Amino acid sequence: MKLNDVAIRKAKPEAKPRKLTDGGGLYVMIHPNGGKYWQLAYRFAGKQKTLALGVYPDVGLALARERRDEARKLIANGTDPSAVKQTQKRQAKVAAANTFEAVAREWIENRSNDWTEGHKALTLRTLEQDAFPSLGHRPIAEITPAELLATMRIIEKRGALEIASRVLQRSSAVFRYGIATSRCNSNPATELRGALKKPKRTHYTTIEKGGFPQLLRDIDGYQGSPFTTYALQLMALTFTRTSELIEAEWQELDLDRAEWLIPAERMKMRRPHLVPLSAQAVAAFREAAKLSGDRQHVFPNRNDPTKPASKAVILRALGRMGYTGKMTGHGFRSAASTALNEHKTKWGIHRDAIEVQLAHVEKNASRAAYNFAEYLDERRAMMQQWADYLDKLKAGAEVIPLQIKAA
């Protein structure tokens, strides 16, 4: 006699487990504690076996029968349904351990020796804010291009087109790592080329003709802290990243040799960086030494002298001078890169020397060994040419428009 839902629902537990059979090997086992469990009795390879099909009422009678029929089809085809279920459990366990978030965090940690703590934190924060909420719990091997695109569209809807592009790039790197570590077989990000909205080219702000020389003059006449003046001057003269300058320590500097060796742990890509110093840069550092030479940092924090000043000091100072939206700390790097490349033939500078001085990562995999002293003589001459060029701009001897990257 086949079961019905009313009979199962009204069935009361007894002192010992008892079965209510439905046919075809399907039955519901009622335990003394009241629990009702669907099971399938079957024979496979000459052995009597039992397959669990779910708990009533979460699994109703109709669904239990469907599962019974699916199991019996497997048996008819020579497959043990219990073995299939165990395989599915293992796969589910592996998938749960290899979610997009789990693989992403492992990828970031794996890059710890190559990145600064700041870059590592920024990368993680980007994914935490814009990728993990929708993709983090998903097994990385199951994420489709459409699903990834839906996540990017969420970011685009709030107008953050640059962030959407950045999140896609970092997600692509996570998928590549997942492929390399056998957690997924494809990179859905590669299918989204051309699918994202392109941001308007508003991140380049042109300082009007004569504007950059005026900026240099404004820096020299800055009415704030002398530390800030020296920092701004050195940003222009050395065009390092803001954090690299603001967190500089006196032990990194050899002013007699006119050299500044930034250790790997403070560089974005975790490689030591040698900055040849022009006479003007040495002079600025010596003036700063009169104020902080007995401290660890060239630019100590005003509230806690054992720590470096805030990286925001450069941006705040530029804002006070009227350059909000026109100039940032990174703008000095952009200005130097533009001008040096424009003058490289005239000044006899090799393009690679400029790239090394900007501490850009070598894209040629065959040059994996990094020599921080590469092109040193040429870079030393270049840095002095650059400093002299800035002096000419300030004096008005050369006035040119420059495109400055403002962000």
Identical fold for domains 100-192 and 205-405, yes or no, is: no
Q: Convert the pLDDT of each residue in 185-202 to its tens digit.
A: 999 999 998 899 887 654
Catalytic-role residue among 105, 111, 138, 268: 268
The domain over range 100-192 is classified in CATH as 3.30.1330.200: no
DSSP state of 152: H
Q: Dihedral, CA atoms, 88, 91, 92, 95, nearest 10 degrees? A: -160
Q: Convert the pLDDT of each residue in 236-274 to its tens digit.
A: 999 999 999 999 999 999 999 999 999 988 887 778 899
How many alpha carbons lie under 13 Å from residue 371 in its C-beta half-sphere? 7
Is 360 designated active site? yes
DSSP string, 334-372: HHHHHHHHHHHHHHT--HHHHHHHTTPPP--GGG-S--T
Catalytic-role residue among 68, 333, 379, 380: 333
Is 379 designated active site? no
Is 241 designated active site? yes
Catalytic-role residue among 65, 170, 297, 330: 330
Catalytic-role residue among 72, 111, 370, 405: 370
Question: Please, which pLDDT band fits residue 228 given cuts at 50, 70 and 90?
Answer: very high
Question: Please, which pLDDT band fits residue 406 given cuts at 50, 70 and 90?
Answer: very low
Q: Has residue 397 got a pLDDT over 70? A: no
CATH number of 5-82: 3.30.160.390
Is 330 designated active site? yes
Token pair of 109, please? Answer: 């940690």
Catalytic-role residue among 18, 72, 360, 405: 360
CATH number of 205-405: 1.10.443.10
Is 18 designated active site? no
Domain locations along the chain? 5-82, 100-192, 205-405
Looking at the DSSP bridge assignments, the partners of residue 47 are: 44
Q: Has residue 30 got a pLDDT over 90? A: yes
DSSP string, 227-280: HHHHHHHHHHHH---HHHHHT-BGGGEETTTTEEEE-GGGSTTS--EEEEPPHH
Q: Convert the pLDDT of each residue in 107-157 to its tens digit.
A: 999 987 777 777 788 889 999 999 999 999 999 999 999 999 999 999 999
Q: How far is CA 197 from CA 26, 55, 160, 175, 182, in A?
A: 55, 48, 10, 22, 32
338 contact partners, CB below 8 Å, separation of at least 6: 402, 403
Contact 343, 350 (CB under 8 A): no
Helix (H, G, I), strand (E, B) or coil at 35: coil
Catalytic-role residue among 68, 241, 326, 379: 241
Say how far residue 53 (Cα) sits from the centre of its chain.
Answer: 43
Looking at the DSSP bridge assignments, the partners of residue 206 are: 403
Q: What is the CA radius of gyration of the chain?
A: 33
Amino acid at 310: S
Say how far residue 34 (Cα) sits from the centre of its chain.
Answer: 52
